Every structure is written in structure tokens, then in C-alpha cells.
Amino acid sequence: MRHQPIPPRLFIENRARLAKLLPRRSIAIVNANDLAPTNADGLSLMIPNSDLFYLTGVEQEESVLVLAPDAANPRLRAVLFVREPNPHLALWEGYKLSKEDATRISGVPEIKWLSELPGHLRILFCELDHVHLNSNEHPRATVEVQSRDARFIEALRSQYPLHDYRRLAPLLHKLRLVKSPAEVDLLRKACSITHEGFLRVLRTTRPGLNEADLEAEFAHEFTRSHARFAYNPIIASGPNACVLHYNQNDQPLRPGQLVLLDVAASYANYNADLTRTIPVSGRFSPRQRDVYQSVLRVLRSMINEARPGVLHADWQKKSLAVMTEELLRLKLITREQVRKQKPDSPAAKKYFMHGLGHSLGLDVHDVGSLHQPFAPGWVLTVEPGIYLPEEGFGIRLENDILVTKGRPIDLMANIPIEPDAIEDLMHQPAPRRPTSKRAAKR
């Protein structure tokens, strides 16, 4: 693993919480993700299955967790299956988990090799009734290729057709939505690394560079901190900022432009999500600053509104009302347009056309129902924006917050966001830093 070891207590507690939600006489099975093919004989890097990681901390392909809290034999109640290491795998693919390492990471005392899975399942299926199986039930997912979960479900239904099959995703989504203190600490670490990357880019940005140069600065900081990009970075200068999911990142930075940076780190598979918009030349124009301050006021207002009991739809509606007042102030819309707006087509949507935020955690667009009221332990993004393609710029600002019983906690409160602070940092010389701990000792 790239990150520092996580105490297995986190995964032990997560499994215990899931076991309490399972009906009597149940089995729950969670698979690792497939290694996705690229071209020819290529494979993508391993992307851990978020649910399997949540329950075990294991990031190795083909791993399977089987939970059966009511199994008669206590040794069968939680078993983790992993690939058996051998010299061939060691030569071609490198290290694979030993049984001892799998227990050390996951806290699961009973580890078996993957070849033992069929016999293990037969014992449990002869004893228990309800089978909870997993699938990707994110409402925005595009599922076009049969997954390992789907193949596994087909095989089990064929072999054991008379069991009661149920969905595991709703139970895991309910659990994952509320972050434990240990998970919040990991999210704070991802935010801290993101902070360092942003400072590095602030001190680097100038006319004549390319969007790709700023991406490289983030990559340097994230990699040296044992992290990775949480999502494809958006480095959008000038009018590119009006493309919401711009990923080209190859255009020159021109004097007078703004550059929108929607970039964040993932540490130990827990994701930050940051957006800042900065002036390429180091100073905002009066118009740019005016629009920026409007977006910042909406951000701060809506952070304060993220309280327990609030529904996402009402939060979003309130953000449009606050944004409407800012757009009126900027003279981008008129009172007449607001008066004539329809409920499903607010006037503000012309310039703020996306959602205000989403849940965050092991996935950037994390699991959880938008129809549940906010509750303590939720982590949300807050990301208002104003996009002015006719003026050649767009501004989005985004912070990550923790919902508590009282006021929400801004996990990115220390990341510069005030326009004066941005300008001041952009005019400071970049500090000289060693590239490695070894270099620092010389």
C-alpha cells in the first residue's frame, strides 16, 4: 500500500456495524473490483472496491469477504479470501498478501486462499437462508460492462437457486454515509495534502505556462505525500472554466485570465474535493473580483446552512435563492426575469447550472441517499459557481465540510480562499524544498 497502515480497529468496527443490520441467518459477500482492461494485453491499475476496503482495508485483486454472523461454527462468521502467493506471481506481479498480512491489515482472524471459497460457501449455503450480494447502485453510475459482482451473482443463483437473495448496497450505503472519527481523520489528511498542492501551484502559476504544468505541480506534491489524484484534475483557464468537466488540461495560461483548479488528493482511498479559481497574472481584475466575492458569499452562506435535518433538495433550493440575489447585484439577471421564472427553471440556472454539493468519502461522489436529511457525521462538498462564457471566465469555489450536531466544520478552512490571500501568496517566492527525506539530511 502507498499510504501509512490504518489501524484495523476501523475495519473491525465497520464489519460489526454491518453485522447488526443483517437479518438473522444471513450471509453477506463482498468482492474486489475487476482489473479493467485497456488495450492489447494492458490492464488498468487496481482501483480498490470501496465497500471491500471499508470492511477490510484490503486493496488486492480477487479478494472476497464472506460474513455469516449466525454461522454455527464461530470460525466461519468472518472469513477473508485472498490469492495464494507463489513464485510465479512473485516474479510477474510482485508481492501478494500472506495470511498473516491480511489479518494484520483487516483484523479478520480467519484468512483462506481463494481456491477454498467454493467449499466454504457450500457449507454456509446449506446452513443459512438469506444471501446479501453487492452491486454498484450509485444513481449516476453508467454500467455497460458486466462486473465481477454481476458474474458472481449469476453463478450463485445458478448453483443455489432456492435461497433468498437480497441487496447489500442499501445497508452499506447507510453505514458509509456517516463517517467515524477515524474516517474523518483520513479525510483531513487528504485535505491537508490537497492544501500543500494548492500552495505549490499558487507560487508557480504565471503567464506563459500551460495548464498541464499546473497539473504536474499537483502530481508532484500528491505523489511525494503518498497520495494520488482523487479524480481527473480540472485545470481550466479562461473560457475553459465554463466547461464543467473540462479535462483537456493542455492550453496556455494567458495574461489577465483566471484559471479554475478543481483538483484534490486521495489518501488511503479517502478523497478530498477542492476547487479554487486564481488569476494567472497574480491579480484579479475588478470585475473578476466582484464575481469571485459573490461566489464566496454563496459558499459561506450554504456551509452554514448544512445542518442536521436539512434535506438536500431544500439546501439546493436555498442556494439558488442566495445565488439569485448575487446575480441581481452583478446585473446578470433582472427582477423581471426572477418574477417570471418557473419552479423547474430558475433564472439563476443560466449562470449556476449544477448542484451545490454531494457526499464525500471513499468515493468522490460518495454513496448515500439525497432523500435523507443531513445528519452528524456526513461529509459534504459545497461548490457554488458562476460561469460567464460571454466574458471568457468562470468561477467555482469548493470546500469540504463535516456535518455536526451544531455548526458544520469546514475541513478546508485553512486553505486560502480570500482574494487578497490568493494574491499575496501568488507574489511570494516559491520556497526551496528538498525532494526527498534523504536530500533533507545532506
Active site residue 336: no
Q: Residue 433: which pLDDT band, with cuts at 50, 70 and 90?
A: low
Phi-psi region of 269 (alpha: psi -120 to 50; beta: other; left: phi over 0): left
Residue 312 pLDDT > 90, yes or no?
A: yes
Helices (H) and strands (E) in the chain, counts: 14, 17
Which residue out of 245, 287, 335, 427 is catalytically annotated? Answer: 245
Q: What is the mean pLDDT of residues 69-93?
A: 95
Assigned fold of 181-440: Creatine Amidinohydrolase (3.90.230)
Which residue out of 157, 226, 283, 365 is catalytically annotated? Answer: 365
Q: What is the mean pLDDT of residues 392-398?
A: 98
> Which positions ≥6 away from 306 have C-beta within 8 Å?
315, 374, 380, 382, 401, 403, 408
CB 355 within 8 A of CB 382: no
Q: Residue 431: which pLDDT band, with cuts at 50, 70 and 90?
A: low
Tens digit of each residue's pLDDT (9 = 90 or more) over 369-388: 888 999 999 999 999 999 99
How far is Cα 247 from Cα 234, in angstroms, rounded to an integer? Answer: 5
CB 271 within 8 A of CB 282: no
List phi, psi (to 5°) of 68. -145, 80
Active site residue 213: no
Residue 277 pLDDT > 60, yes or no?
A: yes
Active site residue 41: yes
Tens digit of each residue's pLDDT (9 = 90 or more) over 207-223: 999 999 999 999 999 99
Say what the pLDDT of residue 430 is.
Answer: 62
> To the nearest whole number, what is the mean pLDDT of the chain?
95
Active site residue 163: no
Which residue out of 149, 366, 398, 410 is catalytically annotated? Answer: 398
- Which range has the worst mean pLDDT, 35-49, 389-403, 428-442? 428-442
Active site residue 365: yes
Which residue out of 262, 366, 410, 423 is catalytically annotated? Answer: 262
Residue 440 pLDDT > 80, yes or no?
A: no
Active site residue 226: no
Q: What angle do CA 18, 19, 23 make, to 5 degrees?
A: 110
Residue 398 pLDDT > 70, yes or no?
A: yes
Active site residue 129: no
Say what the pLDDT of residue 46 is.
Answer: 86
Q: What is the mean pLDDT of residues 301-322?
A: 97
Which residue out of 51, 363, 396, 400 is catalytically annotated? Answer: 396
The domain locations on the chain are: 9-176, 181-440
**% the chain with pLDDT above 90:** 89
Which residue out of 287, 354, 407, 427 is catalytically annotated? Answer: 354
More confident residue, 9 or 432: 9
Q: Residue 140: which pLDDT band, with cuts at 50, 70 and 90?
A: confident
Which residue out of 61, 273, 366, 423 is catalytically annotated? Answer: 273
Which residue out of 387, 400, 410, 423 is catalytically annotated? Answer: 387
Assigned fold of 9-176: Creatine Amidinohydrolase; Chain A, domain 1 (3.40.350)
Residue 439 pLDDT > 70, yes or no?
A: no
More confident residue, 433 or 227: 227
Total-model pTM: 0.94
Q: What is the mean pLDDT of residues 4-12?
A: 97
Q: Which range, 35-44, 141-150, 326-335, is most confident?
A: 326-335
Q: What angle do CA 216, 217, 221 make, to 5 degrees?
A: 115
Say what the pLDDT of residue 442 is.
Answer: 38
Which residue out of 211, 383, 400, 423 is catalytically annotated? Answer: 383
**Grid coordinates given for 367:** 454513496
Q: Same topology for domains 9-176 and 181-440, yes or no? A: no
Say what the pLDDT of residue 441 is.
Answer: 41
Active site residue 34: no
Active site residue 387: yes
Tens digit of each residue's pLDDT (9 = 90 or more) over 241-265: 999 999 999 999 999 999 999 999 9
Active site residue 438: no
Active site residue 396: yes
Which residue out of 24, 41, 88, 339 is catalytically annotated? Answer: 41
